[in-house]
């Protein structure tokens, strides 16, 4: 019984793992140097790691972080929050506003600004959460409001088109800390991942979220408060969005309300889907979504490496993603399982026949 459960668990990750393996093998055959990693010294005198692999893991950071939060909301509410990009822009705007207001940029002020960022995004996400959990509005409709006005709010908070933040602290956060060649955003992913992992390990949050997602009524009868769990998922998503927004700002040291984390909601939902999670809520696996995020980025980087023009990349990406999602769909899955079973029984039948003759 235990063994069976393990295989079923692995089944969810099967498609993304296969997709990742195919991408790796494809690149191995295409160009071995794709995997080479180098070390260089940049303008500010810091040693940095370079190479496609570093690019992939680094660039996917915001997506991976938001995908984690999106997985929780998806599992608990059976729908997606499409306002993550816009609220990410608000997060960036608050971050810049606070730092500009305080005048100087030090580690202390950056931490304070980040905490205020979290507070702001949590408030906005609670607004979404209230509409979904209390007023029972479909998540996509409820979050459509902030999706369409979030960037205007970000602009209104800051009132400046492309404010700049020039400080070694900011570039340490967005690029590398002097002396550590690994890009800092990667640590942010590890940090958020670890935080959620510990939360799941030491509380029953994961189980509660799943049961609310599968059947709210049944969860309530078992003493779980579905409204609270759904709101909590939005709060956690808020924290993820705050982190992603701050990383986005620190990467360039400037804020552009219109383009910060633009279109990331679509990629985040895709990452959740590629990870084999049910977009209708219920059972979920964070590792699947994280894997999904890196697959999307690896695909993009591979296409860039093949010198596909940036304008055409979305089209190629779409083709590959359709294949992955269709391969993971219930219809294909059941057909494949049926086929495998059929082959097995036929083989068994033939061996029995052979034994008889």
Which residue ranges make up the site for another protein (CB under 8 A)? 33, 38-44, 47-48, 50-52, 55, 58-59, 151, 155, 160-162, 164, 166, 171, 174-176, 183, 248, 251-254, 256-260, 262, 301, 304-305, 307, 309-311
Comparison of 13 and 252: residue with beta carbon closer to another protein: 252
Comparison of 27 and 128: residue with beta carbon closer to another protein: 27
Comparison of 78 and 183: residue with beta carbon closer to another protein: 183
Q: In whole angstroms, how close is the CB of 24 to another protein at the nearest point?
A: 16
Comparison of 168 and 280: residue with beta carbon closer to another protein: 168
Q: In whole angstroms, how close is the CB of 52 to another protein at the nearest point?
A: 5
Q: In whole angstroms, how close is the CB of 56 to another protein at the nearest point?
A: 9
Q: In whole angstroms, how close is the CB of 15 to another protein at the nearest point?
A: 27
Q: Is the separation of the CB atoms in 92 and 154 below 8 Å?
A: yes
Q: Are strands 47-50 and 38-41 parallel, antiparallel or unpaired?
A: antiparallel
Q: Is the separation of the CB atoms in 157 and 94 below 8 Å?
A: yes
Buried b (16+ CB within 10 A) or exposed e, 10-49: eebbebbeebbeebeeebeeeeeebeeeeeeeeeeebebb
Comparison of 38 and 330: residue with beta carbon closer to another protein: 38
Q: In whole angstroms, how close is the CB of 348 to another protein at the nearest point?
A: 50
């Amino acid at each position: 019984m235990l063994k069976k459960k393990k295989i079923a668990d692995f089944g969810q990750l099967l498609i993304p793992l296969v997709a990742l393996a195919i991408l790796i093998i494809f690149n191995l055959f295409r160009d071995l140097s794709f995997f080479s990693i180098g070390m260089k010294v940049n303008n500010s005198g810091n040693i940095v790691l370079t190479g496609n692999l570093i690019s992939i893991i680094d660039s996917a950071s915001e997506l991976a972080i938001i995908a984690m939060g999106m997985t929780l909301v998806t599992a608990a509410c059976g729908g997606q929050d499409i306002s993550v990009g816009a609220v990410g822009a608000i997060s960036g705007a608050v971050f810049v506003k606070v730092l500009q207001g305080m005048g100087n940029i030090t580690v202390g002020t950056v931490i304070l600004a980040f905490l205020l960022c979290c507070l702001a995004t949590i408030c906005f996400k609670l607004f979404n959460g209230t509409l979904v959990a209390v007023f029972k509005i479909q998540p996509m409709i409820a979050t459509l409001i902030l999706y369409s006005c979030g960037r205007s709010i970000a602009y209104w908070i800051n009132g400046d088109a492309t404010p700049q933040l020039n400080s070694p602290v900011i570039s340490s956060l967005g690029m590398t800390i002097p002396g550590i060649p690994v890009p800092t955003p990667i640590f942010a992913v590890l940090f958020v991942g670890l935080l959620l992992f510990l939360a799941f390990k030491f509380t029953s949050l994961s189980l509660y979220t799943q049961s609310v997602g599968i059947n709210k009524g049944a969860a309530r009868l078992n003493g779980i408060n579905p409204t609270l769990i759904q709101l909590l998922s939005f709060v956690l998503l808020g924290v993820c969005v705050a982190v992603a927004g701050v990383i986005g700002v620190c990467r360039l040291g400037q804020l552009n309300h219109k383009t910060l984390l633009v279109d990331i909601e679509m990629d985040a939902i895709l990452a959740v889907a590629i990870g084999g999670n049910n977009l209708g809520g219920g059972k979920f696996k964070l590792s699947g979504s994280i894997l999904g995020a890196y697959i999307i980025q690896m695909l993009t980087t591979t296409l860039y490496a093949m010198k596909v023009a940036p304008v055409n990349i979305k089209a190629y990406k779409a083709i590959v993603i359709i294949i992955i999602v269709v391969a993971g769909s219930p219809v294909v899955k059941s057909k494949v399982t049926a086929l495998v079973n059929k082959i097995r029984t036929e083989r068994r039948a033939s061996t029995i026949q052979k034994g008889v003759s």
